[in-house]
Amino acid sequence: MTDNNTTPQPVLRLNGITKTFPGVRALSEVDLALYPGEVTALIGENGAGKSTLVKILTGIHQPDAGQIIVDETPTTLADASAATRAGITAIHQETVLFDDLSVAENIYLGHAPRGRFGLLDWARMEEDAREILKRIGAAINPRLPLRDLGIASKHLVAIARALSVQARVVVMDEPTAALSQAEIEELYTLIDRLKAEGKAILFISHKFDEVFRIAERYTVFRDGQMVDAGMISDVTEDQLVEKMVGRAMSAIFPVRHATPGETVLEVRDYSHPTEFADISFDLRRGEILGFYGLVGAGRSEIMQSLFGVTKPSHGEARLNGRALSIRTPADAIAEGIVYVPEDRGKQGAITAMPIFQNVTLPSLSRTSNKGFIRMAQEFDLARHYTERLDLRASALDQTVGNLSGGNQQKVVIAKWLATRPEVIILDEPTKGIDVGSKAAVHDFMAELAAEGLCVIMVSSEIPEILGMSDRVIVMREGRIVSQHPRDGLSPEILVREAAGYGATAQKESAA
C-alpha cells in the first residue's frame, strides 16, 4: 500500500486497456499511471505494445476495453484533438511536424491566436512563439521554415507546441533516437524544466542509461502486457533488462572463433565528389568488418556506391580478384554483393506487400520459370529464410507493415540472404529494434560469417562494433582514420578517433 499523503494523485491513469488488431493482441489489460512533475519510463522490446499505447493516448486508436482516466474522470479520446483537449500531447521519434510551415505555425497549428474577423493574428502568434521558445531556452527564429532546422531543433519545436497547448501530459516516444550527445543533454535539461512545471512525462526509450538518468518511475511491457512497474530507485539496470526480455542478459554477443580466409573484396581509392575520399580496404572470407564513425562520416555513402546506388567518381573494387563494374543495384546483386539499408521503411521493406513477396523480390529469377511466377517455390524460399531468422508472424502473406520493427528487419535480412550473396553489407542492422531481435540478428551474423560469408557491418553502437567485428575501420568526415583488429580495441579509442579529438590535440601541440 502506498501512503496517500506522500503520493500525489496521478494526472492520467489507464485501467485494463486492451487493443486487438487482426491476428494480434497488441495490448492486454494494461495499467499505467502518470504523476505530475515526474517522468515515467516505459520500457519494452519493439512489439511489446508501446507504440500502440502512444496511439491510444493520442487518440489515434480506440481501446477495445478499459478506461482512460484523466483527473479522476473517465474520458474517451475519440481523436487527436480530444487528446489535445484532455491535455495530452506527444513528441514522436521522427517528429510529425510540417516542413513547409514556419516554426511559429507549427507551434500554433490548430490553436492559433485569432484576431478580428476570426483571421489569424500573425503578429501575436510570432510573439507568443518567441516567448515559449525562450521559456524552453531554444534560440530558434519562429519565422524560419521548419525544413531549415535540425532534428534536435525540431524536437524543441515539438516541445514548444506541447507547452503552447497547455499540455499536462507529455509523451516522448524515443526522443533521443536521432540526437547527438550534446543535444541529448539539452533535452534532459528541458525535461527537468518540464518536471518543475508539474508536467507528467511518459518517456519511451530503448536506452537504459537515459532511463536511469531521467526517470522517477518505470513501467515494463512485454508482449502487450504490463509485467512490472515501480520506482527507478528500487531497481538495477540488469533487473530491468531481465523484466523486459524475460531472461537474463548474460552473454549479449555470440562468441566467435573466426579465422578469416582469403581476401574476397578489395576496394581501392574509392572517392566521391562530396561524400568520401580515398577509401581502400580488404574484406576476407568469413570476416565481419565493422565500420565505425559518427553519423555523417560517409559510411553509408560508401556502401551505397559499392551497391550501385550512387556512382563513385574514382577508384575500383575487385571481387575474388576480378574488377567489378557495378552501375545499378541489380548489377551488385548479380555479383553477389547485397546491402541491407539503414532506413528499413523507405529502402528496405515494401511494407504494403506480403512477407513472402518481400523476401523473394530480388530472387524472383530463381523461384520463377521463364519469367512466370511459381507461388509454391516462393513460399518455400520465404519460409526457409524467415524461419531461420525466427520471424514472428502469423502467416507468410501478412503484410510487412503489420510486423514490429525487429521482425521487419528480419524480413529484409531474409530477403538478402535468399539471394545467396557472397558479401552482405548491413547498415545499422539493429537500429531501433528490440533486444530480443537484436540478439537474433547478432547470432545470425555470426552464423553467416562462420559459413564463409563476408560481412560488412556499419554501426554507430560501440558495444555492437566491439562485440561483433573481427576488424574495425574508423571513419571521420569521409575518410578512413584507422583500421584495428578487435583485440585491444577500446571504446575510448573509437570515440576519440571518430570525433577527431586526438587529431586536434596533435595539431594544437604542433602549433
| List of residues contacting other proteins (CB under 8 A) | 23, 45, 62, 76, 78, 245-247, 249-252, 254-255, 307, 309, 328-330, 332-334, 339, 341, 346-353, 356-357, 361-362, 364-365, 368, 371-373, 379, 383, 386-387, 390-398, 415, 435-436, 439-440, 443, 446
**Amino acid identity for residue 153 in this structure:** S
Is residue 482 exposed (0-12), middle (13-18) or buried (19+ Cβ within 10 Å)? Answer: middle
Comparing CB distances to other proteins, the nearer of 37 and 432 is: 432
Q: How far apart are CA 107 and CA 99, in angstroms?
A: 12
Instruction: Return the amino acid letter for 162.
Output: A
Handedness of CA 256, 259, 261, 265 (dihedral sign): positive
Nearest approach, Cβ of residue 130 and other proteins (Å): 38
Strand pairing category for 24-34 and 12-21? antiparallel
For 278, residues 6+ apart whose C-beta sits below 8 A from its C-beta are 269, 270, 271, 479, 480
Instruction: Give every strand in the sheet of 322-323, ordered side by side.
Output: 279-284, 263-271, 314-319, 322-323
Q: Strand 322-323 relative to strand 314-319: parallel, antiparallel, unpaired?
A: antiparallel
Instruction: Kindly state the cell numbers that stand for 493.
Output: 579509442
SS3 349: coil
Tell me how far apart the 2 most distant CA atoms of the chain are, in Å.
Answer: 77
- b vs e for 173-185, b when ≥16 Cβ sit within 10 Å of the residue's Cβ? bbbbebbeeebbe
Compute CA distances 474 → 259, 294, 308, 465, whole Å.
22, 9, 23, 10
Place of cell 532546422: 149
Nearest to 354 by CA among 374, 330, 380, 379: 379
- φ and ψ at 111, to 5 degrees? -145, 45
Q: Check if the beta carbon of residue 292 is closer than 8 Å to that of residue 473.
A: yes
Distances (CA, A) of 351 to 23, 55, 264, 347, 489: 17, 19, 33, 10, 39
Q: Facing residues of 145 across strands?
A: 102
> In which residue are the cell numbers 531468422 written?
389
